């Protein structure tokens, strides 16, 4: 079973594009997706969920999608919630990928502090060079491929 944990922050496109890149470049097709976000981004959730569904369906699979809300900039709550999910997934012997591209600091810190010691398999980050920032709010395939680089921080 493959699980994909992503974070919704200021940029919905950053979250969506990272997911697209993970499927395209790493061929990682999760069975379950978990979206973490701070309460101030609640309004972005429907668009984000729909985008994940559309992309997944286009690649021939349909993961279960759930989400978790934490209070803005609440590092302890973010860490606790991420830890709870990671331990549950590890107990199910899931292969775990975490995408930190669009995450705010509290969620990213919580994911990394918990994920690295638990030896999650992947920590993805889709980088976009500052000189190419004008492409930031576009779909993945409308951004020149040389302008974006998918990193897996768990790879040697």
User: What does the pLDDT read at residue 130?
Assistant: 66
Q: How far apart are CA 152 and CA 32, in angstroms?
A: 19
Tens digits of residue pLDDT in 64-77? 999 999 999 999 99
Average pLDDT over residues 115-142: 84
Q: Are 11 and 102 in contact (CB under 8 A)?
A: yes
Q: How far apart are CA 129 and CA 133, in angstroms?
A: 7
Q: How far apart are CA 41 and CA 82, in angstroms?
A: 17
Q: Does the global pTM surpass 0.85?
A: yes
User: What does the pLDDT read at residue 114?
Assistant: 86
pLDDT at residue 59 tops 80: yes
Q: Six-digit token pair at 130?
A: 């500052």
Q: Are 86 and 118 in contact (CB under 8 A)?
A: yes
């Amino acid at each position: 079973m493959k699980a994909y944990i992503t974070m919704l922050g200021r940029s919905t496109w950053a979250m969506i594009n990272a997911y697209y890149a993970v499927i395209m470049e790493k061929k990682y097709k999760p069975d379950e997706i978990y979206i973490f976000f701070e309460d101030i981004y609640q309004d972005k959730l429907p668009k984000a969920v729909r985008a994940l569904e559309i992309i997944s369906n286009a690649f021939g699979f349909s993961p279960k999608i759930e989400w978790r809300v934490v209070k803005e900039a609440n590092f302890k709550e973010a860490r606790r919630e991420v830890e709870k999910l990671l331990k549950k997934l590890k107990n199910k012997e899931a292969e775990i990928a975490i995408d930190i591209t669009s995450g705010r600091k509290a969620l990213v810190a919580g994911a990394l502090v918990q994920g690295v010691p638990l030896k999650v398999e992947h920590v993805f980050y889709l980088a976009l060079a500052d000189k190419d920032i004008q492409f930031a709010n576009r779909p993945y395939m409308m951004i020149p491929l040389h302008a974006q680089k998918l990193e897996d921080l768990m790879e040697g």
